Structure 1
Amino acid sequence: MDTILKSILARRSIRRYTGEPVATGDIKELLEAAMSAPSAGNEQPWHFVVITDRRILDEIPKVHPYSQMLKEAPAAILVCGDLQRQKHKGYWVQDCAAATENILLAAQAKGLGTVWLGVYPREERVAGLQKLLGLPEHIIPLSLIAVGHPAENKPPANRFDPSRVHLDRWNNPMQL
């Protein structure tokens, strides 16, 4: 099986981390992968805030109730959309989601653990992170990714469900 497919099928959400810091070179490679994502009109409307300051990581759970794992994670990456870079209105969400998934897959391939924490469209999370991180009004946080060396090992999950595949028309299941 080729490496990318292996990373896709093995990727799991990791919420426990060792105390080992993530190397700056690894963060750079994750961001290179993120910025290689497709985007509408090739507009690349993303910005990224890399967070390694322990005080900030410990503050985030006050504005994002499902981010308690950041108290263990040595780093996080906030994926944001720049509303001023929209060539095709509203597609920034898909563009930044593709960038987010690329980070998750690149981290898996590097042996790092991640978990995708949804921010947008929850207004209280968007506003809380904008304020905490000093984001301009036109920069909208879409997702927050905890990044670290995994302190848990989760086996791959087989999520393939052939009942969700249709051939040509809705009422025609594809035989796979």
Structure 2
Amino acid sequence: MDTIRNRRSIRKYTAQLVPQELVTRLLEAAMSAPSAGNEQPWEFIVITDREVLQAITRVHPYSQMLKEAPLAVVVCGNLEREKYPGFWVEDCSAATENILLEAEEIGLGGVWLGVYPHDERVKGLAELLRLPSSVVPLSIVALGYPAEKKPPAERFDPSRVHTNRW
């Protein structure tokens, strides 16, 4: 629970590069996510190239933190791997959250940038990253060593809990 509560959306990063072994841990966490029928429809694009990170900021209006983030992971759904149509969104969302939780666990900061279902973001990112037509970008996770600290979030609200019926 500490990792879950301490995870916050971090949008400011130091210039320190993220070592490959930590990138691998992030991807292992992502691929440990549950998926419908164990279909694992995900694909991941690891981006460290400054030019590509900058280019994303021209495609995604809320991605300006990529101008300083040393790393981004684009989480995509591969529609050719779907056993259960439409569940790729949930599966890739679980993978995205696992990246964020592992980032917190290993001392990185991250923020989830939604791509799908916004057509202009999906098309722009697909073109920029040269995605095959069967691959749809769901999210971008900006990552790096945090240059800001936020207190744990206390979001539990018992008024949102209903038992047996509304």
Residue 46 of structure 1 corresponds to: 42
SS in 2 for 1:142: strand
Deviation track 1:127-156 (CA, whole Å, cap 9, x = no partner) reads 001010110011000000001000000001
SS at match of 2:133: coil
- Spell out structure 1 runs of 4+ moving beyond 2 A: none
Task: Give distance in 1, aligned partners of 2:68 and 2:148.
Answer: 12
Matched residue, 1:68? 64
Q: Does 1:131 align with 2:127?
A: yes
Runs of at least 5 residues in structure 2 that lack an aligned partner in the other structure: none
Q: Give the drift of 1:157.
A: 1.3
TM-score by length of 1: 0.94
1:144 match: secondary structure: strand
User: Which residue of the partner structure matches residue 151 of structure 1?
Assistant: 147
Give structure 1 stretches of 5+ with no counterpart: 171-176
User: How many aligned residue pairs are there?
Assistant: 166
Choose which of 79, 83, 86 in structure 2 pairs with 1:83: 79
What pairs up with 1:109-124 in 2 under 5 angstroms? 109-124=105-120
- 1:34 is matched with which residue: 30, 33, 40? 30
What displacement does 1:121 show? 0.1
Q: Which residue of 1 aligns with 2:3?
A: 7
Identify the match of residue 161 of structure 1 among 152, 157, 160: 157
Deviations 1:73-102 (A, max 9, x none): 000000000000000000000000000000
* Identical-residue share of aligned pairs (%): 65
Cα RMSD of the aligned pairs, angstroms, is: 0.4
Which residue identity lines up with residue 165 of structure 1 in the other structure?
V
